[in-house]
Structures are given as structure tokens and as C-alpha cells.
Amino acid sequence: MKTIGLSLPNLAVEPVLENLRECLESGWVSTGGRFISEFESKMKNYVKCVDAVGLQSGTAGLHTSLRVFGVDKNQEVLAPTLTFIAAVNPITYLGAEPVFIGCDHSLCMDPNLIEKFCSENCEMIDGTLYNKKTGKAIKVLVVVHVFGNMADMERIMEIAEKYNLIVLEDATEALGTYYTEGKYAGKYAGTIGHAGVYSFNANKIITTGGGGMVVSNDQEFLDKIRFLSVQAKTDPLYFIHDEIGYNYRMLNLQAALGTDQLDRLESFIETKIKNFKKYEEAIEGIDGLTLVPFNENNRANHWFYSVVVDKEKYGLNKDELLLELVNSNIQTRPIWGLIHQQKSYLNHESSGTEVAEWYYDRVLNIPCSSNLTDEEADYVIAKLKEFKR
Ligand SMILES: *Cc1c(COP(=O)(O)O)cnc(C)c1O
């Protein structure tokens, strides 16, 4: 039996082949070409932003955004501990230090913990927040919409305003998630802070093999990102570079996939919601297992499904269940190692990590691909029932 993957790409071969053929026949395979602007334009229209800049990865988007915000070695940046590490590493690339904040029951950064850290551990001097212990300035906050669930942006934006923080939304997992109620009704994850970053890595909700995009309503900011992404070429004929740039621009080949993928995003989300509901109904009947819900005030893209395993009731802990599922050809994964516990970040300050640690001990992600079949979902459910002791 073939393995049921955790989160597989959902690619339409024919329309993409047609686009790729055009790239190959025209020779536009690199960082120029019509698919890049077409994909950027579709993205900005989809998330309703002034502009979008295509890059080779989400990590590149986070790195360049932090760079343009002016993050440097005299600064600390607030970031989540429960995240994929790519949300945090770019802070370190710039010589700054992350301060880790714990999560709430949405698995996203807890606004109460951000507020607590800012009010108790920091002080405002001339409109800038400083960490009292280290004396370093804190000017930027990176928030991650974990597994496609919208972080509490109403509270986070209020806190950011109070402490004069620039908000960078790592929306790499949350393309398509938008508020349906409240102050930000109609607003997409990635478009509420100063800038947002998406990823098109192979396991994300849409893919270009690898790729990323930065969106914002600040045109000047995005122009700067575009400029830095092509080695900061000030004069393209004489190759004059007044700043240190990067080779980060998206390829036409990647965009040739992206434009077709974006056309099908809404249908992917529909399938993900349908499968989530199917799992939810079944798991309600299994004592000791629950699914982490998506927040009610938004239409989440339902990218990843998180099962919480209660060993007392279920009889197995998450690691034991993982082994059983893997032996049944079902790919599952524990949540990422928390960043404040990773070797490179052990000496960094962290605040309120208990809830993240609680979930780390219990959560497994189960197959959630947008091409998961009914039979496959039924098989996963049958196994989850079977393994209960
Ligand atoms: C995938 C991901 C990234 C990085 O995106 P890449 O395109 O792989 O560089 C960053 N942050 C989070 C939370 C992610 O899940």
C-alpha cells in the first residue's frame, strides 16, 4: 500500500506544461518574464494589496522585509517559539536577537504574553521600546499564523501601536485565511501588519516548487524589496550597486506554476475544510483525541490539522501513536521542536512558553493534502479508532 502523505502538492499537469513550454521556447526561465508579473498581479488582487513581490522563498521574503525595516545588531525582535524555524532565522541573519513569546490555544502567539513582556520587561524611551535587561531596542514583531489559523491580529495590532512596533506577518502557512468579522472583516492574513510573507514551498497550500512573496500597502517598501532581490543594481547597464543586495528574485519557471496554482486555491481550501469537518466528526467519538479548532471569526485556509493526544484517555502518547500510524503507511508529524529549545537559541530570552510546551508534548499533524481522497481519510480515521487502548 502506498503511503498517505501529510501534505502533498496538488498539481495540474496540462495547464502548467503549457506555461512551462512557453518559458522554455522563449528562453525566459530566470528572474524575468511575464509569468512573474502575472503571478504578482493575481496575488495582489487576491489578497487585496497595493503590490506583491515574488521571491525564491518565504525565508527570502522575511529576510528582506526585516532588512528594510532596519533590523540590526542593536535590536531584539519579538517572535514566536512555536513555529517553523524559518520565521526566526532571518532575525539572526541580520545580527539581531529573537525574544521568544509563547502561544495561546490557537497555537499562535498569545497577545497577553506580548503585552506582559512589553509592559514588565521593557520601557519606552523617546517612542522606542527597550528591553530593560539588555538595553536593546525592540522595533519589530514577527507574528506567524500557525497552520493557517489567524493570530489575534486585533489585539496584536493594538499592542504594536501602543509600543510602536512594526508588525511583520509570517503568513507562509495562511494564504487564503481572512477575517469574516470584526474590525478587520474582509482582510487577509498577511495584509494587516506592515507587510506579509507567503511561501510556495512544496508542502504549502499552493506551490511553485519553492518560492515566496511579500505583500504590503507600502509601495516604497515593496520597491525596496524588489531592488534588494536583484543584487541592488542601481545602474543596470554599468552594474553600479550602492548597497549590498541578494539573489532572491522569483524565477519565471516558478511563477509559471504559481499562476495556475493560485487559480485553484479556493478549490483546495474547500477540500481542506470538507476533510477537516470529516475528521472532526469522527474524532469527536474517539475518547482522548481532539482537533485544535480554527478560530471562528475568520475563514481559515485549514492548511494543517492538529490532533491533540491525551495519553491518559487514549492509552498512547503522541510518539507512540505516530509510530503506529507510520507503520500503517500514514505520514504524520509532531509539531516543530520549539525554537527556544533549539541548540542555536538556547541562550535567548523567552516568555511564557508553558502552553507551547504543553502542545508540543501532545500534538500530531495528520494527512491534510488538498488531494486527500475520501477513502484515504476514512482509512486514517479507522486507524485512529483502532489504536485506542
Ligand atoms: C514554510 C515556512 C516558512 C518559510 O518558507 P520557505 O518558502 O520554505 O522559505 C517560514 N515560516 C513558516 C512559519 C513556514 O511554515
Q: Exposed e or buried b for every residue in 310-347, given b needs 16+ CB within 10 A?
A: ebeebebebeebbeebeebebbbeebbebbbeeeebee
pLDDT of residue 19: 97
* C-alpha 373 – ligand 1 centre gap (Å): 26
Nearest-angstrom CA–CA distance, 101 and 285: 34
Instruction: Provide φ and ψ at 380, rounded to 5°.
Output: -60, -45
* Closest residue to atom 11 of ligand 1, CA basis: 87
* C-alpha 169 – ligand 1 centre gap (Å): 12
pLDDT greater than 80 at residue 1 = no
Most ligand 1 atoms within 8 A of CB, residue of 63, 84, 88 to mutate: 84
pLDDT greater than 80 at residue 333 = yes
Sorted by sequence, the CB contacts under 8 Å of residue 117 that are 6+ apart come out as 78, 99, 101, 351, 352
Can you give the residue ranges of every domain in the chain? 13-263, 265-386
Sorted by sequence, the CB contacts under 8 Å of residue 52 that are 6+ apart come out as 40, 41, 43, 44, 213, 214, 215, 222
What residues are in contact with ligand 1 under a 6 Å CB criterion? 57-59, 83-84, 86-87, 144, 170, 172-173, 199, 201, 212
Q: Quick one: cell of 81?
A: 517559539
Beta strands at 195-199 and 212-216: parallel, antiparallel or unpaired = antiparallel
DSSP state letter for 288: T
Please give the model's pTM, rounded to 2 decimal places: 0.97
What percent of the chain shows pLDDT beyond 70?
Answer: 100
Sorted by sequence, the CB contacts under 8 Å of residue 313 that are 6+ apart come out as 287, 288
- Residue-wise pLDDT for 296-330, tens only, equals 999 999 999 999 999 999 999 999 999 999 999 99
* C-alpha 210 – ligand 1 centre gap (Å): 10
- Residue-wise pLDDT for 247-283, tens only, equals 999 999 999 999 999 999 999 999 999 999 999 999 9
Taking CA atoms, 269 is separated from 176, 263, 272, in Å, by 8, 12, 5
Tell me which residue of 264, 246, 221, 241 sits closest to 55, measured CA to CA: 246
Neighbours of 11 (CB within 10 A): 16
Q: What is the mean pLDDT of the chain?
A: 97
Closest ligand 1 atom, residue 146 Cα: 13
Sorted by sequence, the CB contacts under 8 Å of residue 386 that are 6+ apart come out as none
Q: Thinking of the domain 13-263, which architecture would CATH place it in?
A: 3-Layer(aba) Sandwich (3.40)
* C-alpha 96 – ligand 1 centre gap (Å): 19
Nearest-angstrom CA–CA distance, 244 and 191: 28
Instruction: Provide φ and ψ at 178, rounded to 5°.
Output: -145, 155
- Residue-wise pLDDT for 42-74, tens only, equals 999 999 999 999 999 999 999 999 999 999 999
pLDDT of residue 71: 98
Asked whether the beta carbons of 88 and 339 are under 8 A apart, the reply is yes
Residue 236 binned pLDDT confidence (cut-offs 50, 70, 90)? confident
Alpha-carbon Rg for the chain, nearest whole angstrom, is 21
Beta strands at 350-351 and 97-101: parallel, antiparallel or unpaired = parallel
Asked whether the beta carbons of 99 and 350 are under 8 A apart, the reply is yes
Can you state the angle between helices 374-386 and 318-327, rounded to 10 degrees?
130
Closest ligand 1 atom, residue 61 Cα: 9
**Homologous superfamily in CATH for domain 265-386:** Aspartate Aminotransferase, domain 1 (3.90.1150.10)
Closest ligand 1 atom, residue 86 Cα: 10
* Closest residue to atom 6 of ligand 1, CA basis: 58
What percent of the chain shows pLDDT beyond 90?
Answer: 99
Asked whether the beta carbons of 130 and 123 are under 8 A apart, the reply is yes
Q: Quick one: cell of 58?
A: 518565504
Most ligand 1 atoms within 8 A of CB, residue of 91, 197, 199, 205 to mutate: 199
pLDDT of residue 259: 97
What integer is the mean pLDDT of 200-218? 98
* C-alpha 315 – ligand 1 centre gap (Å): 34
* C-alpha 281 – ligand 1 centre gap (Å): 30
What integer is the mean pLDDT of 341-356? 96
Residue type, 297: N
Tell me which residue of 155, 220, 204 sits closest to 183, measured CA to CA: 155
Tell me which residue of 84, 91, 92 sits closest to 66, measured CA to CA: 91
